[in-house]
Amino acid sequence: MSNPTAAELIARSNRLGADPKNTNYAGGNTSAKGTETDPVTGEPVELLWVKGSGGDLGTLKETGLAVLRLDRMRALVDVYPGVEREDEMVAAFDYCLHGKGGAAPSIDTAMHGLVDAAHVDHLHPDSGIAIATAADGEALTATIFGDKVVWVPWRRPGFQLGLDIAEIKARNPQAVGCILGGHGITAWGDTSEEAERSSLWIIDTAAAHIAEHSRPAPFGPALEGYAALPEAERRAKAAALGATIRGIASQDRPMVGHFTDSDVVLDFLASSEHPRLAALGTSCPDHFLRTKVKPLVLDLPASASVEDSVARLRELAVSYREDYQAYYDRHATPDSPAIRGADPLIVLVPGVGMFSYGKDKQTARVAGEFYTNAINVMRGAEGLSTYAPIDESEKFRIEYWALEEAKLQRMPAPKPLATRIALVTGAAGGIGKATAKRLAAEGACVVIADLSLEKAQAAAAEIGGPDVAVGVAADVSDEAAVQAMVDAAVLAFGGVDLVVNNAGLSLSKSLLETTEADWDLQHNVMAKGSFLVSKAAARVLIDQGMGGDVIYISSKNSVFAGPNNIAYSATKADQAHQVRLLAAELGEHGVKVNGVNPDGVVAGSGIFASGWGANRAAVYGVEEKDLGKFYAQRTILKREVLPENIANAVFVLCGPDLSHTTGLHVPVDAGVAAAFLR
């Protein structure tokens, strides 16, 4: 760390950001003012280090700080053209940077620079926002904090808010911070410790006041029939509804989902006031882009059947979209950014929980966290007073703020499989793991299913954290286990788009040696297993209405006839015909079904390691370790086939370029003339 003041700031930010009671994910910002030697003049120069745009306090690093020259930043006051043109000041911050300036300065930079205190924290604590959104927030602030904390009426974040807070601080030398109406808190101190103490004191004092003075049951009496279902039942219902709800949330653009059935959510939905409060929407400026102004709430009791719930959700989705369009039309001006889609991002189902959506798993999860913050805020505000979020027109101004739009436009282009959820069976190793890895690298979320939970989870951990890959145990020959696997995928990521039937095993035996049990095992895992997986996944694909892909890892042996392979090759031929049958049947739902015919993949293959390799080596009269090379020499291209080559073919089949191809088998065998398709 180059400067001790910046080091202190990082440490304080990380401490504050580590505790969710202090601020929401990526919400709030912190700053410190200090001195450094100007490399140009050799003279001391006063600097402002402030958290830059984006990023989370809990994991903030020095690279996440913007560094500005304090004299230049403060000189902006003299050219400030007034609140109507305050957005122009963000571009002016670039002319105040020290050296390369670090991270991009955020809209809140003015507040940090203009307030005359060495250390400033701006945070979004649930307890503080509860006071900030209470109808009599100003009076409550005086009651709770005396003259130590000052009320600042709602104003959109920006240069003017910075000026307002600076003036309030100057006029109230005894104050340690302020409550920003409708928004959050700002606190300060002469030292880093003092600022942190001020922040925590405001947060904890507000929370203690709410705990002590809140009326019982702030969300009203329990609503008959809306209590949480028992865990197993609500999870089953969530899984049964998940695909339909994801489809509802993905009408404008495909979304990844997150499911939460925390007590906070279930208690809210079980209480009589939840429809009124949900309709009022969230308040903190961070929320609108992530949660939209309000959620879609299913208005049926917990006991409603899946069929009735689906039918009602579809009706509510139509009116939600109409309402959102009307909200946009009410407030949009000719220079407003275009509507960003009218689908809900938060869907609440009484007795079951909350579904939240985003462009990837992390965004979907954070949207859910934000709505949980909003519930906590509403509970606090209703407990002391009445919840009164900012006006709808102000919400719109923030949601469709030109500066936010510019941030969205700067986002990197999504990867080809972004928002797609892949389910790969037999993916703990070999071809399946290579495939899961490739799909994840292309932006998909992946569910790794295999016989051993431990191995499936280890493969998932190797590919990425829980926002990218999860491991589940499933024997594909067991119908109940297959359903549980698909349910797990729906609960983990919201649904399924891309199914890879890869699980398999291989016995190499002559007709006379093949037992009935051998035959059944081969057929149960591959022919029946992929039938069961395709069937359970198709239910989800159809409910979602978002198209999809089913891919079978069949085999060269599905068309090639050789000795000692009756059970394996026959079941591979069965899988190959499933591709054609399902391509014909699922096309009307936009689902493509294709296959890959690998051959001779020795590297990484559990099938080869567990006897099949030794057996094949013996059949061909070569040493087992040379089998890969032996297979390569048999091929037209004389190349060894690796698991990654199969994974590449899967990606191409489900990637954006083969959008018009279904019922196809792609050989990935380095060229085997006897297995050419015709």
Ligand X SMILES: NC(=O)c1ccc[n+]([C@@H]2O[C@H](COP(=O)([O-])OP(=O)(O)OC[C@H]3O[C@@H](n4cnc5c(N)ncnc54)[C@H](O)[C@@H]3O)[C@@H](O)[C@H]2O)c1
CB atoms closer than 10 angstroms to residue 445: 32
Q: Which of residues 404-443 bind ligand X (CB under 6 A)?
A: 425-426, 428-432
Applying CB under 6 A, the span of 239-247, 319-327, 329-337, 597-605 interacting with ligand X comes to: 597-605
Looking at the Cβ atoms of 107 and 553, the one nearer to ligand X is: 553
| Candidate list 238, 317, 503, 591; residue touching ligand X; CB under 6 A | 503
Looking at the Cβ atoms of 566 and 607, the one nearer to ligand X is: 607
CA 536 to chain centre: 24
Looking at the Cβ atoms of 440 and 525, the one nearer to ligand X is: 525
Q: Closest residue (Cβ) to Zn ion?
A: 184
DSSP string, 429-448: SHHHHHHHHHHHHTT-EEEE
Looking at the Cβ atoms of 52 and 184, the one nearer to Zn ion is: 184
Applying CB under 6 A, the span of 30-38, 224-232, 300-308, 497-505 interacting with ligand X comes to: 497-505
Residue 283 beta carbon to Zn ion: minimum distance, rounded to whole angstroms? 11
Residue 645 beta carbon to ligand X: minimum distance, rounded to whole angstroms? 11
Which residue reads 């101190």 in tokens?
189
| Candidate list 356, 544, 555, 648; residue touching ligand X; CB under 6 A | 555
CB 572 within 8 A of CB 522: no
- Rounded Cα distance, 149 and 169, in Å: 10
Applying CB under 6 A, the span of 96-104, 215-223, 318-326, 592-600 interacting with ligand X comes to: 592-600
CB 196 within 8 A of CB 17: no
* Residue 451, contacted partner among ligand X, Zn ion, none, CB below 5-8 A by kind: ligand X
| Candidate list 476, 536, 586, 654; residue touching ligand X; CB under 6 A | 476
174-193 footprint of Zn ion as x/- string (CB under 5 A): ----------x---------
Looking at the Cβ atoms of 71 and 623, the one nearer to ligand X is: 623
CB 352 within 8 A of CB 241: yes
Tell me the backbone φ, ψ of residue 313, rounded to 5 degrees: -60, -40
Torsion of Cα atoms, 520 then 522 then 527 then 530, to 10°? 120
Cα separations in angstroms, 219 against 214, 223, 277, 287, 306: 11, 10, 9, 21, 26
Buried b (16+ CB within 10 A) or exposed e, 74-98: bebeeebeeeeebbebbebbeebbb
- Rounded Cα distance, 356 and 346, in Å: 5
| 614 binds ligand X, rule: CB under 6 A | no
Residue 185 beta carbon to Zn ion: minimum distance, rounded to whole angstroms? 9
| Candidate list 376, 605, 645, 648; residue touching ligand X; CB under 6 A | 605
Which residue reads 């895992």 in tokens?
525
Buried b (16+ CB within 10 A) or exposed e, 347-356: bbbbbbbbbb
**In the annotation, is 568 catalytic?**
yes
Point out the catalytic residue in the list 25, 371, 568, 631: 568
Which residue reads 């060229």 in tokens?
671
Applying CB under 6 A, the span of 84-92, 217-225, 241-249, 603-611 interacting with ligand X comes to: 603-611
Residue numbers at the binding site for ligand X (CB under 6 A): 425-426, 428-432, 450-451, 474-477, 502-506, 525, 529, 553, 555, 598-601, 605-607
The residues of the shown chain that bind Zn ion, judged by CB under 5 A, are 184
Active site positions, annotated: 568
